[in-house]
Amino acid sequence: MSGTRVFVTGIAGFLGSHIADRCLAQGYGVSGCDNLIGGYLDNVPAHAVFHRVDCNDFKALSPLLKDVDVVYHCAATAYEGLSVFSPHLVTQNIVTATSGVVSAAVSKGVKRFILCSSMARYGTNAVPFTEDMVPAPQDPYGIGKWSAEQLLANIAETHGMEWAVAVPHNIIGPRQRYDDPYRNVVSIFINMMLQGRQPYIYGDGNQKRCFSFVSDVVDPLLRMATDNCCVGEVINIGPDDEFITINELAATIARLLDFKLAPHRIAQRPREVYFANCSASKARRLLGYQPTIKLEEGLAVMIDWISSRGVRPFSHHLELEIDNGLAPKTWSEKLL
């Protein structure tokens, strides 16, 4: 669709910048916004038009969506664990921010809106999570994402804008912020081990997750801009194999780095879901989803990228709103 104009919120972030890159490669006109809470400015593709605008600033955001065809809403304070202790910050930048972007999109006649949600929406449902499950989020972040989905569907259907919800999960790859102590376990482990430091593992480390390499996520997301089969649908995007424990993840990274692993053990985080894994069956059926990068290959790419960029000290850039002794010591005592 030559001439398509795409707007990406969170364009300086990890996923948003990769989506912008791929849209540019397709010949689309690309612009986007970011408040730089969680991204790197040098992530923004050179040929994209960048606006340093917060999604909560409706008056500043709305004019930017004039003549836009498709919005990818990637911007979010994607801090599931931290949301238990900073619920206002996280909810404001999930729910309120989404209402602002959706309202602006409708007011400017955007044709299609794609919301990037989270598997936190599923909570303690039995794995693998499927899209027909009733969401049961366990923390403010998951509650916010589920609320944002409902807002989008309600507003878009009322005013005639096409919508779709993508549920990418545990994405890894270059451009992911690795000096953030509150999220991105793969990046945290690699950054620490490259510094010769032992990582921290919450609880017994037998929590299980799947990890998605970013290029495998962007491919189906790109199809969602133009394929009508996704309209009005919620679609999980991520692998449903290689379901591994956090202990196994740490051991794999240590082996790739030839690092002698003896992790620090710390109390389990409140509200953490123990098993989280999504079925990819619907994405395969509707979007031809087929991941090509296995976990170990993706970890090796991450190691090379962080090594070449240079390790960094962790930046505790967000304050705990609730510091009552229940927060992990890694955050309250800035152990990372």
Domains in the chain: ranges and CATH: 5-172+211-237 (3.40.50.720)
> Tokens for 49?
């038009």
| Confidence (pLDDT) at 2 | 61
* C-alpha dist (Å) from residue 183 to 68, 91, 126, 130, 208: 32, 16, 24, 24, 16
Q: Give the whole-angstrom CA distance, residue 240 versus residue 235.
A: 13
| Residue 248 and residue 186 in contact, taking contact as beta carbons nearer than 8 Å | no
Partner residues linked to 33 by β-bridges = 9, 51
Residues 214-271 have pLDDT tens digits of 999 999 999 999 999 999 999 999 999 999 999 999 999 999 999 999 999 999 999 9
Give the tens place of pLDDT for each residue, 16-36: 999 999 999 999 999 999 999
Q: How many CA atoms lie within 13 A of 312 on its CB side?
A: 15
pLDDT-based confidence at residue 1 (cuts at 50, 70, 90): low
Query: Cα(110)–Cα(74) distance, rounded to whole angstroms?
Result: 16
Structural contact between residues 66 and 3, judged by C-beta atoms closer than 8 angstroms: no
- Give mean pLDDT, residues 290-308: 97
